[in-house]
Structure 1
Amino acid sequence: MVIDISEKVLIITLLIFAVLTASFTFTHNMQLSNFLELEQVDTTENVERVQNAVSARQGYINYVVQDWACWDDTYQFIEDGNQQYIDVDLQNETLAGIRINVMLFVNDSGDLVYAKSVDVNSAEEKPVPQGLLKMIEDGTLLTKGEDDLISGIVLLDEGPMLIACHPILTTKYEGPSKGTLIFGRFFDNFLLESFKDVTRSSLSMYRTDQEMPPDFQKEFRKFSETPDKILVEPLSKDRVAGYFELRDISGQPALIVRADFPRELYLHGERTLNYMYLFLLFTGLLTGIGVKFAFDRLFISRLVEIDDFVTKVRSEKDLSKRLSLKDNDELYRLSREINGMLNEIYLAEQELKAQEREKKVLLDSLNELVVFVNPEMRIIWANKAALKHMQVSLEKAVGIFLKATPDTSSPLVEYPQLEQVFMTGEKKSGEFTSKDGRIWFFQAIPVADENGKIIGVMETCRDITESKKAEQLLHEKQIAEVANRTKSEFLANMSHELRTPLNSIIGFSDLLYEKVYGEINEKQIKAVGNISRSGKHLLNLINDILDLSKVEAGKLELDYKEFELAGKLSTIKNLLSPIADRKRIEIKIDVDKNLTTIRADEARFVQILYNLLDNAIKFSQESGLVKVEAKKKGDLVEIMVKDNGIGIKAEDQHKLFKPFSQVDPFSSKKFQGTGLGLALVKQIVNLHGGSVWFSSKIGEGSTFAFTIPINGDERDSDNSEVKSLNGTETVEDPDL
């Protein structure tokens, strides 16, 4: 059976429409499934924010109980039960202020020393929940050692409660433990409402030991199979809910929490897909009808098109034109043969032109001077660079004897001996300096025909003056770097040699000062004290030089470990408090609640903060304020030290962070210093892969800040920098 072209078009159109319809239906269902998955992921992320809010509240209680439990006053109160501690520190308003409902002090024998329970909203005293007292009696809430910590939820008759228990230690986190301090906060509607405000979600909560609505019971049974997983279920066509469980201190399920959200993402996606599905079906139908009609109407026109095309090519003699190929029939084969014939004629014509054009384009694109000469040393061809250098056009250059070119000092004729290349048939290359002082690299390559006879030489010359200068500069830079490393290693070795006798001087002077060897008079005591203080000052200077030299010599290695940030800042504050107290300077520490521990070199971290805080105290006015702030910025911790002291002049700020460079020689007489502290700060921060910056206004004070990775485990200082912020303008330090 013979099928004409019109029938073929109809069958193909129907098949295409059927395939498109099936594809659209499959794609619609698949995309709808994807929107369900996106809704699941989005709901899970929203529920995780609720979980994070609950965890943050539990973390806050853990932090507060640790702060109270590791306090010398609390340690003493467990021993003597002094009333002053109760009157001053255990007021109802105190508990309400830190948002704690219950505070229980238990000694190491398990006896309740003191208990208080308040309403956090009204600060009104309430009875202590009996359930907590029973847990103390059976030891459930008692810590077993100095490192023990109990944290989680307990279910009481009065309601669920977030609980935190910490061993009672000294301010320095030392034992032995005197007992257990217990803090509790009811997980009530007020707390639930605060979580709603923070996460902007609708929350519901039920206890697992009481009757729950059917949807909560259903999800609770699923949690037994998939614990610690967020379960997402649609509540209705318009809302979707995410469930998660909270466990008590023994690890058993305590609460089921539901956060529900509008199904905007899924409903919007479903509507969009439906519209697209209908639109594509309608478009496919119209397209099929149009294609069928077009093929029926335009078939005969193809014969006319072929005839017009052949006539036009013959009249215009344009062999680059081609017939468009349509369908697999006689007209298609005829068009293909016509195109093939034209293509062969066109390629033969273009091949000759392309050979000459490719050679010219390729060689003209080179920056090198290129000349091709024949055995009579006459120029056959030259590229643009060579013609420009010889100051002659190609038409005038062709046929000229090479050594008779207008520019007789050209590197093309000044040094290369092309006669030897023609005689030996071997390539020749080398470097030479022309009369004008430029350095050139030349190559002379013989060109042979099919029989091996040399028919010419391709000569190239390239100006390498700048690259030679760059090589010289690199060599000088390497020499300077070797000298700098040698200096740093020498300083490091000398610092070690100086510390040994200094330690002896300091040690023996301290023994004399303490009269270990016998009584000495007052003048001798004063002189020995001066020797000790001067020796210690010199030892600190040598230690700074040693650290700086180690960094410059590449020998300083960081010992990464994880430590608690707030406690470490408090330790540094305590070290410098005596110095600050002499000037009646207040030191405030503000740590982001999201920051608990960081991973860095603990000793070097203390060295950084000590130097910055010591400088802030040193240059602050009497009765001033020094503030230390720690914030989390992505995966970095940012620490800022602010003072309201004398400030730094703009013209002196470039001296900061340079070894042995002090801002003002007159100030250095008033404020002791060597100029090494900030230089060490910069180097140590750089080793941590961080950056340092500062801002300062004369008479208003200064701010020094730095960032380092929160979880650092390798050094990367390539991108570190020091910035000076004057007002709102950022000034980069060119020495960094």
Structure 2
Amino acid sequence: MKITSKATLMVVCVVVALVIVIFAASELFVKEGFNAVEDTKAMQDTDKVAYILASDMNMLHSITREWAHRTDLVTYMAGAPVDGPPFINDAAFGQVGVNFIVLTTSAGSIIEGRSFDTAKQTAGPMSVALRSHLDSVYSFPHFAITDEQVLGILMLSGTPYMVSSQQVLSDDGKLLGTISMGRVFDGQEVARLESLSLFPITILTYQELAAIASPELATGYGEMPFLNWHGNELLGVNSPVVLTAPTRETMEGYVFVNDLYGDPAVILKVEMPRDISLQGEKTTTYFMGWIIITGLVFGVILLGLLHIFVFSRLSTFSWRMEEIGDERDFSARVPEDGDDEITSLSRACNTMLRELETSQNQLKGRLTETEERYRLFFNSGKDIVLANRLGSEDDGKGKANAFLGTFIEVNDAAISSLGYSREEFLTMRPSEIMVPTEKSSMAERISRLQAAGALLYVTELVAADGTKTPYEVSAHIFQNEGEPAVLSIARDITERRSIERLKGEAFAQIEQNMVQFAILNDHLRNPLQAIVGLALLNIEDEEVVNKILSQADLIDSYVDQLDRGWIESEQIRDWLRKYYEFK
């Protein structure tokens, strides 16, 4: 992998690691922060629904208080002869927006109770069931009389009502009774809460909540009424709140509302969009996108700067060094621009190249001297020097046969002795300069040469003009550029053969002379014996006889010397025959 690819991979890894770290940090801190803010806001929004409900109930209480101070109501409650409360009519119900109005005496008995049919928009007597429920089950009138004012939720016949009760006093402060107003906590009231809170709201009972959610979720009720009063002062709203996140887009808040007795009444489910969480995710996404784009831009800029100031110079340096290495041109140099580590590396490489150039020049000089010396040695001798390839070929039977290939090099003596040019030699094989009778023994000689590594033999070479000359050839195998080759040194033995012929002729003459010499000795001794015998027979002239005998003795001594010389010649002949192979 090239350094540019490695740097690109490292930049990509750094950007990816940075994105992962930032994403993890955003998930751990930013998103959790958004979720915490969202939970806080959701709690506030859910509490706001409870306070809106409390405010709505407080408005109902204000209406009840206003009616408790009406002159016509006080007159009616004081026992004045009035034919029923004329002020409790359809218009009054429509004006105050309640579903029932109940008047009780100071003793707690109901003296008047009227309800409002919202479907027909008409007021009428309170139903027996509602009157019975108010009178017996919850003892609401008695409960109202004992307190100066009452405000809260009552479950009447399974239906939640917002109920407000206020004491009616005479001008002198005497308790005349109570007036109680109730408004059904129905869809219309929920719509009113939704319009004020801007959130979808659903009324649930404890059983409904336990059926659609975890039972533990429905344990948020306290044991206190929804509203806490002390005299005319509203002390606070007691409404436990629980949050859940059923989906990615919405979360739910549950407002637990108790009745006047602190028992569970209704549950308000508030559905709130998770705008903050979604905005946090969107912000995180935008931020991560910005980080990725910024990282990529900075990565591209970084890679571009690295390419301009580092990679391009390193690439040029690497390309130049490869070119110098391929061409073996140590006189070339790499550029030394700048003043940094790459420049220092270039200077060090140039120093190395100068040293290599010096060494190369020295080696070239030595090589030239060696080549000249080699050529001098190669061409100065009178012997023929031939170098040829040693190859092998398949004989068609799966066996490889060696053969002598074309000549690689020949010396000047080969050119002058055989008459072929150097170019002709380099296209010829040894078999082309041998006499035909020698070609049959070539395979056997090659086998012996391969087995022993060297071979000495005598052959005849044919010159360009057809002249045949005997040569003694010394051949051995060597390696030429990793391939086997044969170096042959051939010496002209024409003169040696002439000398050997003359030696043979001389030895034969010596043999013949020795035979004739032995015969001559015998021929000399026989006449000499006859002369001595004749001299002894003729003793008349003693002086002559003595002279003859003395001369005979002299001749005999000469013959003895010849015999000794013949013996010595015979020993010399045997020595020559032994050491010079004369026959």
Q: Rg larger in 1 or in 2? A: 2
- The TM-score, its normalising length taken from structure 2, stands at 0.44
More relative contact order, 1 or 2 (CA 8 Å, 6+ apart): 2
User: If each structure's helix is expressed as a fraction of its own residues, which one has the higher value?
Assistant: 2
